[in-house]
Amino acid sequence: MVVKVYVDLLSQPCRALVIFLKNTKIPFEIEKVNLKAGEHKKPEFVKITPLCTVPAIQDGDFSMGETVAIIKYLATKYADLVPDHWYPKDLEKRARVDEYMAFHHTGTRGGCCGIFISEILISLFSGGKEHASEERLKIDTENLTKQLDKLENVFLQDNDWLAGDDISVADVLAVSEIMQNTVNGRDVTEGRPKLRAFVDRVKDRLNPTFDEVHEALYAWRDSYEK
């Protein structure tokens, strides 16, 4: 049975899920959902996940949304097809990955998304008519700094990886968020040597897959650079 994976590769959690899957032997096929065209609100997609967010999966009769829950489901159901380091079976090692993933949504994603919405999406979705206020940009920048400092000073303090002694799903979730900010011209690793080395480490470990999955994002980034 092939797992159907509904994604828009301009979305951070979608890229993380696809990179994870490409590093396993789980059979899957990609179903593209164009967020900008509103395809995530179409009735056929609402049936897959009424949350109307990507990524989502369909595995036989079962479908679901929410990246972290999807990863846990797939890594548990297809445990034999997933190299252990991605989501370790050992209780304490797994708890370390879960710990990061619990932090991730309000932490790394919260910080990176807030500023991305303010610097890119507000203008994009209003056709350039609206822009984030100075006050909002200040709040987003402060939160971004706070969350990135936690990566630098807590998760990466004495570690090469965010959660354990090898690459895991925690790392791809984080780096995918960090990459999103390259569209708004931000190098969020600036002044954070551990974070910078970590991002390079993840890319080196996962290429050529990392760049393939980020191709659409790179094109988006380049279109803003002009």
Per-residue tokens: 166: 């090898």
Query: Which of 5, 13, 164, 174 touches ligand GSH (CB under 6 A)?
Result: 13
In the complex, the smallest distance separating the C-beta of residue 152 from ligand GSH, rounded to whole angstroms, is 23
Query: Residue 175 and residue 156: Cα distance in Å, rounded?
Result: 13
Question: Restricting to residues 98-127, which ones interact with ligand GSH according to CB under 6 A?
Answer: none
Query: Which of 54, 120, 174, 178 touches ligand GSH (CB under 6 A)?
Result: 54
Question: Which is closer to ligand GSH, CB of 114 or CB of 192?
Answer: 114
Query: Which of 58, 67, 176, 182 touches ligand GSH (CB under 6 A)?
Result: 67
In the complex, the smallest distance separating the C-beta of residue 194 from ligand GSH, rounded to whole angstroms, is 25
Query: Which of 31, 66, 99, 166 touches ligand GSH (CB under 6 A)?
Result: 66
Stretch that binds ligand GSH, among 9-17, 75-83, 129-137, 187-195 (CB under 6 A): 9-17
11 binds ligand GSH (CB under 6 A): yes
Question: Which is closer to ligand GSH, CB of 65 or CB of 164?
Answer: 65
Query: Which of 22, 24, 31, 35 touches ligand GSH (CB under 6 A)?
Result: 35
Number of residues that bind ligand GSH (CB under 6 A): 12
Query: Residue 153 and residue 191: Cα distance in Å, rounded?
Result: 12
CA distance between the termini of the chain: 44
Q: Which residues bind ligand GSH (CB under 6 A)?
A: 11-13, 35, 40, 52-55, 65-67
